[in-house]
Structure 1
């Protein structure tokens, strides 16, 4: 792909990750006023709207019918706990610290791809995984103040979301809107039985923030899917890490958070570098597989 053809994908990716950061900002704003279960329930309602509209415009609600319902059931069953953990971490941690831990997800997905997908992971990617987790340890170093219950929740959420994202590869024929809708249906279903016990009557402002946050989440997913449809993952995925800058500015301006210290930035840089290398290696392997398939097809034709 040429630079001119990938530029739209990059711009859409930057917009998507900014929208995701705004969603997380809305979650953090409400996290100090509502129980995390209520935040998750209201957010899921808003998140359902953009992908549903996308499916309607792209071919109808039939696109939301999964080819393998069991896979979506597993994802929907794990999503409520993953959502509660990550929303709690957002509520009590600076977004930059939470993101620094969340950036370990590509490393976790790579590790999970062996038992879940049966993929072969070479020594290069395993080395990147090890180095990346060393970066996480630098972020969570003893005495930093980060290694507490909220950080453990963020680690748990990262593992669960990595599992949820990894099994998407087992259902490549489903429309992207299908993945978004059923995960949020699972989150809403998981929150509703608990919601009456933690209910806080929302104000008009809180309802607006919650609804907007949900719309941003669903919209961000739609934009991200669009970016991935325009360019390879190796081009799009690294731009996720710009969220650290978005979060640093929002944390400083909106929440009065201090900027991360030098050790946190250093650990984050290691995690980011490892993640980018893993994405690069996966992109190279995908290209090689496509080339071999084409050569095999040409050989059969000859």
Structure 2
């Protein structure tokens, strides 16, 4: 009975990891759409105003769930780590949209695609997660594909680029902390992040306030709704699977960046983009297949309990 129990447990763990990968892919796609919408908005409105109205819309959508599960907000574990997570989340969002004011979306995304490397290295050192040399190699190859595909411009040495890089590092810390707080309910994690951006927006939005039209208010509401869906997917992903497993799938951002860049901003992809995308997809598929292989192997050799 012990052997079958161990096989069942390992199979469940593998299923959770695969579900985490799928949710990360969905979350990244949704976030990419929201990023393109946000860049469109900050061409007219300030970053603080975007964060304020985006958070208002998100919290309105989350309010019924927050009310039903209000008791869980009073049972928070590790409150200082929860607070640090909110601060990192707020800084990361502000840095991303501020950088898109001055840089092409593809250049900003380039820095954020370095996040899996930061997360993998830190997860091995901080969270003690097992990361083998094969996954390390695939992650590095995937990042090489990102550089080939995006071909960062000469603007990548400017201060807006440094802001984007700082945002990617904050995002890496956010992902690791989310993994550490996986016992915290999803609704608490998501609403805390939006409350953080709301407070930030209240402070900075008046500095560059532009009264939005009724039509543009729809854009702000859409940005909030999109961010809620994306955030819930990513948070659930990080609770189902190790950060080092799901983080590499952020490389799919390049595919969406190309699509939205062409559709919204008229950016035409080059041959290098197609080559880089092929390398990224290949690296991601290898990681996925390696994860499935490891799951099967663990089930086969599990010792009796």
Deviates more, 1:68-77 or 1:183-192: 183-192
Matches within 5 A, 1:87-98: 87-98=97-108
Q: CA deviation at 1:231?
A: 9.6
CA 1:280–1:43 in 2, change beyond 3 Å: closer, same or farther? farther
Q: Distance in 2 between matches of 1:157 and 1:287?
A: 37
CA 1:70–1:119 in 2, change beyond 3 Å: closer, same or farther? same
Q: Paired residue for 2:135?
A: 125
Whether the aligned pair in 2 keeps the contact of 1:52 and 1:177 (CA below 8 Å) is no
1:28 aligns with 2:39: yes
Q: Paired residue for 2:182?
A: 172
**In the alignment, which of 219, 222, 233 is matched to residue 229 of structure 2?**
219
Whether the aligned pair in 2 keeps the contact of 1:49 and 1:215 (CA below 8 Å) is no
**In the alignment, which of 78, 82, 89 is matched to residue 92 of structure 2?**
82
1:48 aligns with 2:59: yes
Q: CA deviation at 1:128?
A: 3.4
Q: Distance in 1 between matches of 2:241 and 2:123?
A: 22
Aligned Cα root-mean-square deviation (Å): 4.1
Q: Structure 2 stretches of 5 or more lacking a match?
A: 1-10, 12-16
Q: Distance in 1 between matches of 2:251 and 2:234?
A: 14
Q: Structure 1 stretches of 5 or more lacking a match?
A: none
Q: Distance in 2 between matches of 1:70 and 1:289?
A: 36
Whether the aligned pair in 2 keeps the contact of 1:100 and 1:268 (CA below 8 Å) is no
Whether the aligned pair in 2 keeps the contact of 1:27 and 1:91 (CA below 8 Å) is no
Give per-residue Cα distances to partners, 1:150-188, cap 9 Å, x unaligned: 444333222211110111121221112221111222222
CA 1:55–1:226 in 2, change beyond 3 Å: closer, same or farther? farther
Aligned length: 290
Q: Distance in 2 between matches of 1:266 and 1:277?
A: 17
Q: Paired residue for 2:201?
A: 191
Q: Distance in 1 between matches of 2:78 and 2:26?
A: 31
Q: Distance in 1 between matches of 2:233 and 2:133?
A: 33
Q: Paired residue for 2:48?
A: 37
Q: Report the TM-score, using the length of structure 1 for normalisation.
A: 0.75
Deviates more, 1:195-204 or 1:13-22: 13-22
Q: CA deviation at 1:74?
A: 0.6
What SS does structure 1 have at the residue aligned with 2:126? helix
Q: Distance in 1 between matches of 2:236 and 2:118?
A: 24
